[in-house]
Amino acid sequence: MRYIIVGAGAVGGAIGGRLAGSGHEVVLVARGAHHAALRDGGLRLKVPDGEFTYRLPTVEGPDELGELRPDDVLVLAVKTQDTVAAVQTWGPAPVAGGGTAAERLPLFCAQNGVEGQRLALRVFRHVYGVCVWLPATFLEPGAVRADCGPLTGILHLGRFPHGTDETARLVAADLEKTRFFEAPVVPDVTRWQYAKLLTNLSNTLQALTGPDQGPGPRAALRERLRAEGEAVLDAAGIAYASVEEQKAARGHKVDLVPLDGAPRGGGSSWQSLSRGTGTIEADYLNGEIALLGRLHGVPTPLNDLLQHLGNTFARERRAPGSMPVEELVRLADDAVAFVQES
């Protein structure tokens, strides 16, 4: 199978690089300066076991590939807010032998949150969810770093909305043959994704106030965000893997390893602010909880606040970590008090 990585940033670049490093055929899809850097200098992947350069075919869209192949696998690794544009671009692409990518090819959504695969399923017939546990960083065109060891990541795979099949098992086998991924194939991939969503609720918190520094107001606010999220999922009757189950699955397989003696800067939302992209995933992380809360009658003042502030910071291109945590705690307390008094 040939892997077409639609969105060769942090997650997509790490997956594509590791697959290419084990001999798989990989095509990278990127835009702008990142596309130019990948095309001209290759993908530079820095990992605990070294720094590697992979000179891979790099395109901006399907037209540059001509007809797609029946054995192609599309890995969608763009941010959720870019999903609609991506599936509308790749869905109509013709496949050799007849039909389109949307009709014939599998699409694996390697994204945070749960909305991307719903959006994809409106266009593609064969959609697979991926619960991504893969801390990686993309700040410089052409360069990706993945800071974990001994594995680069753990990727739970399954058909969306549920089930498994031979395609999922074949892709999982290819990932595991790299020796840098564990890829359990599960019939309930959304249960793992909702558990990861609860963790990702603090992505915006980190982007606004900086990396976690142990016990303190930031950690306390993180726990309040998670508790609000759990209350919403419970009210909605949505199953999610427990913290204990997640820890048992991860063990010490994906521990952070400082590269060049420097700790990892921050997660995906922090990176979006650092690159000044103008957008952030908050609508599909904190905003997912806000949506479910409104649907099921559960107040979500903390996630509402984080969604609003995250979008404001992205739109105004404010620097990551530039809000004092004490200010955010005050705003959070005010938001909760307002809901309680209403």
Residue range 6-22, pLDDT digits in tens = 999 999 999 999 999 99
Cβ neighbours for 299, distance < 8 A, ≥ 6 positions apart: 293, 339
Mean pLDDT throughout 56-72? 97
Average pLDDT, rounded, for the chain = 96
- Over 90: is that where the pLDDT of 342 sits? no
Mean pLDDT throughout 266-274? 94
pLDDT at position 215 is 84
Where does the pLDDT of residue 210 fall: very low under 50, low under 70, confident under 90, or very high at 90 and above?
very high
- Over 90: is that where the pLDDT of 86 sits? yes
Q: List the structure tokens of 29.
A: 């899809």
Where does the pLDDT of residue 42 fall: very low under 50, low under 70, confident under 90, or very high at 90 and above?
very high
Class of residue 66 by CB neighbours under 10 A (exposed 0-12, middle 13-18, buried 19+): exposed
Query: How far apart are alpha carbons 65 and 226 in whole angstroms?
Result: 43
Q: What is the strand order of the sheet 153-159 is part of?
A: 58-59, 25-29, 2-6, 72-76, 106-110, 126-133, 153-159, 181-182
Instruction: Based on DSSP, count helices (H) and strands (E) in the chain, helices before strands.
Output: 14, 14
pLDDT at position 199 is 96
Where does the pLDDT of residue 231 fall: very low under 50, low under 70, confident under 90, or very high at 90 and above?
very high
DSSP annotation string for 142-210: TEEEE-EEE-SEEEEEEESSS---HHHHHHHHHHHHTTSEE--B-TTHHHHHHHHHHHHTTHHHHHHH-
Q: What percent of the chain has pLDDT over 90?
A: 94
Task: Kindly state the DSSP code that residue 43 receives in the 8-state scheme.
Answer: E
pTM value is 0.96
- Over 80: is that where the pLDDT of 261 sits? no
- Over 80: is that where the pLDDT of 84 sits? yes
